[in-house]
Amino acid sequence: MNAFVAVRKLIQGVVLLFLVAIIIFVIFRLMPGNPADLILLSFKVKPDLQQKEALLRQFGLQNGKWSYTAFTTFMYDMFSGNWGNDYYYGATVSQIIFTALPYTLVLVGSAAVLGWIFGIPLGITTTRLRGKKSETAILTSSLIVSSIPYLVLAVLLYLYLIAYLQWFPVSGYFSFTELEHPTFFSVLSVIRTIAIPLVSLFLIGAAGHLITMRATMVSILGEDFITTARAKGVKEKDILRKHAARNALIPVSTRMALEFALILSGALIVDIIFSYPGIGYYLYEATLKEDYPLIEAATFMISVVTIFAYLIVDYVHAWLDPRIRV
């Protein structure tokens, strides 16, 4: 990918993020009431007029929800990370978000990478088994697994492996301090804690990558350049690995971005089910409490992570496909 295309993609990402911020602004302003009233009600005391005016100024709402001041204050706060104080947790919103973000990145990143590591090689292997009963069994199993919603799979794994067999901890919480001076038992404890939430996410993605990789490779194996390679006496395993697999990765890389977005949305559900301290857990709690500042910041941060992932996949796509580099 040349510099012009790279910069253009980056600008597109920034513009998209700006549009997402505008959508968040509009949606939350369409809701009845305002954050200042909700916060004052949570104090369970008679609200003071000065307190309300101070909160309205903090949110830029002193001239109304749809004023120019409200919009500019919101946009500046969103992009500067100045998301204000959270009166329910007694901390700044940025502290809450950036405490939860590493947990979300570890879970989602690990699920995405494991899905690629298992799904792509298995897709190549399944291609070599064309016409055999084992191929039918693998494809059927993959289709079933990829059709299961994240919510259903997470609940089933929780009920059987955690509630019934009690093989894993009930809560998905762990502290990163356990890994500052890692020991065998501390690493094992973290693995046991995160294992089921991780499996709930990567299993569905791996099945989808397997199906996509296998279908793409079957299509590519019928191309003329594959026939030419066979006519030259190239070994079948080299044709699969060096010729078909590399070209099949191009459409698969496009699916990676879509899969990452799906995994991220699934992680929001998994956070709730397993009490995993990611952004999804705090977003759920904030929604129940009508905690507007935290909801807005969490939604914005999820959008940032998703758009950034799409940019990375675009660059990977360009690396795999020389036609995009010119």
pLDDT tens-digit series, residues 179-205: 667 777 777 878 888 888 888 888 888
* Whether 138 and 272 share a structural domain: yes
Owner of token pair 């959008």: 303
The three-class DSSP label of residue 109 is helix
pLDDT 10s digits, 38-49:
666 666 556 667
Is 326 domain-assigned? no
225 lies in the same domain as 261? yes
Q: Assign residue 303 the CATH number of its domain.
A: 1.10.3720.10
Asked if the structure places residue 113 within a domain, the reply is yes
pLDDT for the residue numbered 23: 92
More confident residue, 204 or 87: 204
Residue 127 within a domain: yes
- E strands along the chain, which residues? 85-86, 91-92
**Average per-residue pLDDT in the chain?**
80
pLDDT, tens only, 205-246:
888 888 888 888 888 877 777 788 778 787 877 777 777 777
User: Domain for residue 104, yes or no?
Assistant: yes
In a domain, 232, yes or no: yes
Say if residue 19's pLDDT is above 90. Answer: yes
Which residues, listed in sequence order, are joined to residue 72 by a DSSP beta bridge? none
Q: Per residue in 250-296, pLDDT tens? A: 777 777 777 777 888 888 888 888 888 888 888 888 888 777 888 88
The reported pLDDT for the residue numbered 320 is 64
Domain shared by 156 and 237, yes or no: yes
Q: Of 77, 93, 109, which closes a domain? A: 93
Are residue 61 and residue 104 in the same domain, yes or no?
A: no
Last residue of a domain, one of 93, 120, 148: 93
Same domain, yes or no: 186 and 239: yes
Domain with 24 in it: 3-93
**Of 73, 93, 113, which marks where a domain is finished?**
93
Q: Does one domain contain both 71 and 218?
A: no
Residues comprising the chain, all counted: 326
* Confidence (pLDDT) at 68: 81
Which DSSP string do the residues of 19-63 spell out, in sequence order? Answer: HHHHHHHHHHHHSSS-HHHHHHHHTTSPPPHHHHHHHHHHTT-TT
Residues 253, 131 within the same domain: yes
Are 78 and 151 in the same domain?
A: no
Q: Does the pLDDT value for residue 126 go beyond 80?
A: yes
165-171 contacts: CB < 8 A, separation 24 or more?
168/192, 168/193, 168/195, 168/196, 169/193, 170/275, 171/274, 171/275, 171/276
Give yes or no: residues 74 and 110 share one domain: no
Q: Is residue 202 part of a domain?
A: yes
Are 55 and 135 within one domain? no
62/126 same-domain check? no
Could you tell me if 87 and 125 lie in one domain? no
The pLDDT value recorded for residue 326 is 47
Domain count, the chain: 2
Among 12-21, 57-66, 289-298, 302-311, the range with the most confident prediction by mean pLDDT is 12-21
Residue 208: per-residue pLDDT: 86
